[in-house]
Amino acid sequence: MQRKVTAKTLTILLMLVSFISFGKDDVQGKGETKEGRKKVVSEYVKHHNLDSHDFSLFSYTGDDGEHHYVGFPLPVILWSDGLHVFPSSKFHHGEEVVESDGKYFALHHSKIYETDANGTLKYDEEHGDHPTNAMPLDLSITKNVFMIIITGLLMFFLFRSLGKSYDKNGGIATGAGRFFEPIVLYIRDEIAIPNIGEKKYVKYMPFLLTVFFFVWFLNLFGLTPLGINVTGNIAITLSLALFTFFLTNFTGTKDYWKHIFDPLGDSMPWIAKIPLYIILIPIEILGIFIKPFALLIRLYANMQAGHIVLGSLIGLIYIFQNWIGGPLSFGLSFAISLIELLVALLQAYIFTMLSALYFGFASEEHSHEEAH
């Protein structure tokens, strides 16, 4: 327990370093007033939650007056009349134009645009901050993609070692497997079997275990000062929800589809059912899409809101700049960060539970009369 608290304290202190560095170096003059400092924090929190083409831990201004960033670049992979590959460090955090095989690219708010040698960006008249330049097909390894790969490899080696320990020790887990084995059994006994049933739960277990640990690990990585917000990216949560959507509907039994298109069964004559079906069938069809939509919005909104709240609370230290507001903001940030540890696990649990519930609806078999 002491090690967990110490690690969490170190994480928050590193995040504080990030805010302090940003405030001192990027807004000299603008951050002299409270309104200016509020703008600084707002901009930094938005930037911290965005995906990017590099990892930036913090920045500082050296004795030579030059601005330095501490972090590491990631590979940029673009397709624009051919393949273009180069490290993101060439952009110098959006300050320079990159030339590749006669094409010029500029980085603006974490997005890459095609431009000229001078880095000219043409803006929309109605939305002045949105360039109208053509955008190449971006296949880059961004920090979100990088963390997805890291999480996938972590899960692979972790559960591969767990499986090996089962084989060597007669079904007894060793090492880190002792911690994860009860979680696997809980997902099987308390989520999969009760919601899907003992006959059909096995074929859904690989997905349920994968999505639970995938979301949980990424949520935990999101609490580090690396600026990772994978599950706060709606494209990621949409992809996860689509997996649940396709598995639910592609494995659905005839009773599942009959319930959607014939919800009343044989309880009354067809003539009497027609007026009701004008309302019921569209509702049932709409429900097919509402369920995965609720999954993606719930995970996205909770994780994005958590990052914004935590970042804003830490930013209050920079805004107040006094001995009263600073410690209060730090204490509240620390308390919220501990709650976020619980939320990280809870959101993984909810996503897995609801997915299992939808799978149970799809795999249920019964006579239509019994259902009503």
Q: Which residues pair with 73 in a beta bridge?
A: 54
pLDDT at 329: 80
Residue 189: CB atoms within 10 Å: 11
In this predicted structure, the answer to whether residue 24 has a pLDDT above a threshold of 50 is no
| Residue range 53-70: mean pLDDT, rounded | 72
Give Cα 90 to chain centroid, integer Å.
27
Q: What confidence tier does 26 reach under pLDDT thresholds 50, 70, 90?
A: very low
Q: End-to-end distance of the chain based on CA atoms, in angstroms?
A: 51
pLDDT at 131: 85
Could you tell me which residue, 128 or 43, shows the higher pLDDT? 43
The three-point CA angle 47-50-55 to 5° equals 85
What DSSP string runs through 303-361? HHHHHHHHHHHHHHHHHH-STTHHHHHHHHHHHHHHHHHHHHHHHHHHHHHHHHHHHHH
| Residue range 274-283: mean pLDDT, rounded | 84
CB 275 within 8 A of CB 298: no
CB 353 within 8 A of CB 191: yes
Q: What confidence tier does 152 reach under pLDDT thresholds 50, 70, 90?
A: very high
**Amino acid symbol at 311:** G
- Taking all residues of the chain, what is their mean pLDDT, rounded to a whole number? 82
**């960006």: which residue's tokens?**
121
Q: What confidence tier does 9 reach under pLDDT thresholds 50, 70, 90?
A: low
Q: Which of 122-131, 262-271, 316-325, 363-372 has the lowest mean pLDDT?
A: 363-372
pLDDT at 21: 41
CA–CA distances in Å: residue 290 to residues 103, 196, 287, 352, 358 = 44, 20, 5, 17, 12
| Residue range 41-48: mean pLDDT, rounded | 73
CA–CA distances in Å: residue 225 to residues 220, 228, 255 = 11, 8, 49
Q: Which of 18-32, 313-327, 343-357 has the lowest mean pLDDT?
A: 18-32
Whole-angstrom distance, CA of residue 115 vs CA of residue 297: 35
Paired tokens of 158: 């972790």
Which among 358, 228, 234, 244 is positioned nearest to 297, based on CA atoms? Answer: 234
Q: What confidence tier does 366 reach under pLDDT thresholds 50, 70, 90?
A: low
Q: What confidence tier does 2 reach under pLDDT thresholds 50, 70, 90?
A: very low
Q: What is the pLDDT of residues 191-245, one digit of tens each?
A: 999 999 898 999 999 999 999 999 999 999 988 877 788 998 899 999 999 999 9
- pTM of the predicted model, to two decimals? 0.82
In this predicted structure, the answer to whether residue 250 has a pLDDT above a threshold of 80 is yes
pLDDT at 147: 93
Q: What confidence tier does 119 reach under pLDDT thresholds 50, 70, 90?
A: confident
CB 38 within 8 A of CB 337: no
pLDDT at 270: 72
Whole-angstrom distance, CA of residue 225 vs CA of residue 191: 33
**Amino acid symbol at 23:** G
Beginning with the edge strand found earlier in the chain, give each strand of the sheet holding 98-100 in spatial order: 98-100, 103-108, 111-115
What DSSP string runs through 251-320? S--HHHHHHHH-TTTTSS-HHHHHHHHHHHHHHHHHHHHHHHHHHHHHHHHHHHHHHHHHHHHHHHHHHH
pLDDT at 34: 66
Which DSSP symbol is given to 222?
Answer: T
Could you tell me which residue, 56 or 98, shows the higher pLDDT? 98
Which among 278, 298, 282, 292 is positioned nearest to 350, based on CA atoms? Answer: 298
Q: What is the pLDDT of residues 295-332, one digit of tens each?
A: 999 999 999 888 888 888 887 777 777 677 677 888 88
pLDDT at 337: 84
Which DSSP symbol is given to 135?
Answer: -
Residues 6+ apart with CB under 8 A from 368: 255, 258, 259, 262, 265, 266
Where in the chain are the domains? 75-140, 144-371
